[in-house]
Structure 1
Amino acid sequence: MKRFTALLSILLFAGLLAACGSASGSSEEKEQVVIGYFPNINHVPSMIAKEKGYYEEQLGDNIEIVYKTFSGGSDFMTALKTGEVDAGLVGPGPAMNNYTTGTDVKIIGAGSTGGTVILAREGSGIETVEDIDGKTFITPHVGCTHDVQFETSMKELGITSERINGTMVHTTGKPATYQSMFESGKVDVAVAPEPWAAVLAQETGAKVIISTDDVAFGNTLPASVLVSSGELIENDPELVQKIVNAHKDATAFINENPEEAKEIAIKDIKEITDQELSKEVIDQAWENIGFTYKVDAEAIQAFGDSSYALDFLKEKPDFTNLIDTQFIQ
């Protein structure tokens, strides 16, 4: 009995030590910061930051950086609202649209400019912009940045989508699938972010109908913006500043080392989409993109006004408090 009692005491003591060890281990778990982005050229700063470890450098060894990718802005914004991501790059359209419905989102920097190209499928019969009337066009999502740019350009010609009693038929899909959609003849026009515009031009013979320079807001509107939540800014501005600093480091790297940046983009896009883009495609796409962390507030407001005019927004927006520039000074 004494031997049993002694053995029981030893087992209980060992269990207590194990429990203490487990508690100690859990207390040392790293805090996670989740960064979101899309697998397209407008989001290369996040790819560079991931490859070069800029977030890790800024945030230190006690923070674990997790990267999460998205195919569209609505999914990204849902993740931001639910706390699945802390910050990241998204099109200005989804950020604006969600802000107007009460989402706690702040634009804390820009990612890139340009990169939206309108192309017609070979055999679609489309030779000019006017020929798009009555045709089917595809964008990543309804009301996304590229959609608003395209529909703004078309409205200036008096051509609108069925959504607002027009003739153009609208469908949506991941940009990586645009090539198969063209090849099957399911759509006539692609509103494509780079590098998928370059893919369509080189792989399918698609014709550029509206270039990046000519599409609405083409070279003034940020094609991607760095966002976070107002709550995170209020609770941990130092963390947000470090996130922005890492983003600025990545932007500087792109502008100083474009060829290496292209190689990193090709690798990252392949890992995410399982589609390997040629150097020629990336070179062509790169010509339509500019990389900057500075935000053009006037362009964002003008874009929001156009979104309202196209009935993507129910009320005319005021984006004065959407943009927080304190971290990019």
Structure 2
Amino acid sequence: MKKGLLFFSILLAFAGLLAGCGSSSATNAEGVVEKVTIGYFPNINHVPAMVAKAEGYYQEQLGEDIEIEYKTFPDGAAFMTALKTGEIEAGLVGPGPAMNNYTTGTDVNIIAGGSTGGTVILARDGSGIETAEDLAGKTFVTPRVGCTHDVQFETYMKEELGMTSQRIGGEMIHTTGPPAQYQAMFETEKVDVAVAPEPWASVLQQETGAKVIINSTEVSWGTTLPASVLVASGELIESNPDLIQKIVNAHKDATAFIAENPEEAKTITINDIKEETGQELSKEVIDRSWENIGFTYEVDADAVQAFGDSSYDLKFLKEQPDFSDLIDTQFID
């Protein structure tokens, strides 16, 4: 009797675990969409999602019968896990996580661009680093191993200076951490260099006196590589292209709003980042950050492939990638 009860309890627990790993219940039993969840990161490369959220563009496109939910993520790995498990239907992520997951068989497609630029490399005040040539033996931080910013930085260092990280036998020491924590990491001298997406690069300059050693236009693909891309699963694209078109339309509306109303977009950004991270950024920081970012829904496929090739060269990827089917531009053409 006790064994039977134990088995039944385990069965119930396992069923609960499966339910917890399931989707966000975007559709009901009849297959009708009831809720759409959009993911993004609380940084300036993801402003289109913040604007679409604040201005209600997804609600306008999808209609009042569909509940719209937003989820923020600390890094690309968490975002991609949410996409794979159906926790989100679409959202903005760096091209690095999208490409890395695509090469391992994840059902993901880039359906629009989000932004370009915004990756800045800064040295901690007191680190003794004056130029990128001084980085041998120094510790640098990126949000994640193999993330967009990491690949941009390591590509630049290898191609321009012949310098690599200890991960592949080089001189630079790599660590990772959320960009919102970079200021504390500088102040406690845990790292020497930050590979920082905006607005955290501007925060480091203002709050710690950090020195820019590689700016957003100098770092590899600084003006051409998408800094964020809008992605969805291939399954959702195939099963509900009308839904995907509406999601892309809302994203395009947000991109147009940013171009036409930059000051309002900056206010939205300040408020959203404060809400999601608890950190209130100054207008000065946002203004400085804005200068390093471009917002576009177009995607440079050549830059994406070159980025992937370099990821392979740097041993972030195990096989030479082919991204000819990763980008699906039918919804922006």
Both proteins in one fold, TM over 0.5: yes
- For residues 116-195 of structure 1, the aligned pairs below 5 Å read 116-156=119-159, 157-195=161-199
Write out the 4+ residue segments of structure 1 that deviate beyond 4 Å after TM superposition.
26-30
Q: Confirm or deny that 1:279 pairs with 2:283.
A: yes
Q: CA offset at residue 27 of structure 1?
A: 8.5
In structure 2, C-alpha distance between the alignment counterparts of 1:305 and 1:319, rounded to whole Å: 10
Q: What residue in structure 2 maps to residue 10 of structure 1?
A: none
Q: What residue in structure 2 maps to residue 267 of structure 1?
A: 271
Where 1:170 maps in the other structure, the secondary structure is: strand
Contact 1:30/1:64 (8 A) holds in 2: no
Q: What residue in structure 2 maps to residue 241 of structure 1?
A: 245
Q: CA offset at residue 62 of structure 1?
A: 1.3
Q: Confirm or deny that 1:225 pairs with 2:261.
A: no
Q: CA offset at residue 199 of structure 1?
A: 0.2
User: Which amino acid is the alignment partner of residue 254 of structure 1?
Assistant: I
In structure 1, C-alpha distance between the alignment counterparts of 2:331 and 2:33, rounded to whole Å: 25
Q: What residue in structure 2 maps to residue 72 of structure 1?
A: 75
Where 2:207 maps in the other structure, the secondary structure is: helix
In structure 1, C-alpha distance between the alignment counterparts of 2:175 and 2:65, rounded to whole Å: 44
In structure 2, C-alpha distance between the alignment counterparts of 1:44 and 1:291, rounded to whole Å: 8
Q: CA offset at residue 90 of structure 1?
A: 0.1
Q: CA offset at residue 278 of structure 1?
A: 0.1
- For residues 75-114 of structure 1, the aligned pairs below 5 Å read 75-114=78-117
Task: Give the length in aligned residue pairs.
Answer: 304
In structure 2, C-alpha distance between the alignment counterparts of 1:306 and 1:262, rounded to whole Å: 33
Q: Give the counterpart of 2:257 among 245, 253, 258.
A: 253
> Which stretch shows the higher mean deviation, 34-43 or 152-161?
152-161
CA pair 251-137 structure 1, distance change in 2 beyond 3 A: same
In structure 1, C-alpha distance between the alignment counterparts of 2:322 and 2:177, rounded to whole Å: 30
> Which stretch shows the higher mean deviation, 223-232 or 28-37?
28-37
Q: CA offset at residue 43 of structure 1?
A: 0.0
User: Which amino acid is the alignment partner of residue 85 of structure 2?
Assistant: T
In structure 2, C-alpha distance between the alignment counterparts of 1:103 and 1:138, rounded to whole Å: 27
CA pair 231-30 structure 1, distance change in 2 beyond 3 A: closer
Contact 1:137/1:190 (8 A) holds in 2: yes
Q: What residue in structure 1 maps to residue 214 of structure 2?
A: 210
- Root-mean-square deviation (CA, aligned residues, Å) is 1.2
Q: Deviations over 1:97-152 (max 9, x none)?
A: 00000000000000000000000000000001110111000000000000000000
In structure 2, C-alpha distance between the alignment counterparts of 1:302 and 1:235, rounded to whole Å: 31
Q: Deviations over 1:157-192 (max 9, x none)?
A: 111101001111111000000000000000000000
Q: What residue in structure 2 maps to residue 11 of structure 1?
A: none
In structure 2, C-alpha distance between the alignment counterparts of 1:84 and 1:165, rounded to whole Å: 38
Q: CA offset at residue 252 of structure 1?
A: 0.2
Q: What residue in structure 2 maps to residue 19 of structure 1?
A: none
Give % identity. 77
Where 1:117 maps in the other structure, the secondary structure is: strand
Find the structure with the greater CA-based Rg.
1
Q: CA offset at residue 61 of structure 1?
A: 1.2
Contact 1:88/1:228 (8 A) holds in 2: yes
CA pair 135-49 structure 1, distance change in 2 beyond 3 A: same
Where 2:167 maps in the other structure, the secondary structure is: helix
Contact 1:89/1:111 (8 A) holds in 2: yes
Contact 1:113/1:218 (8 A) holds in 2: yes
Where 2:181 maps in the other structure, the secondary structure is: helix
Question: Unaligned regions of 5+ residues in structure 2, if any?
Answer: 1-27
Question: Unaligned regions of 5+ residues in structure 1, if any?
Answer: 1-25
CA pair 117-54 structure 1, distance change in 2 beyond 3 A: same
Q: What residue in structure 1 maps to residue 12 of structure 2?
A: none
User: Which amino acid is the alignment partner of residue 43 of structure 2?
Assistant: N
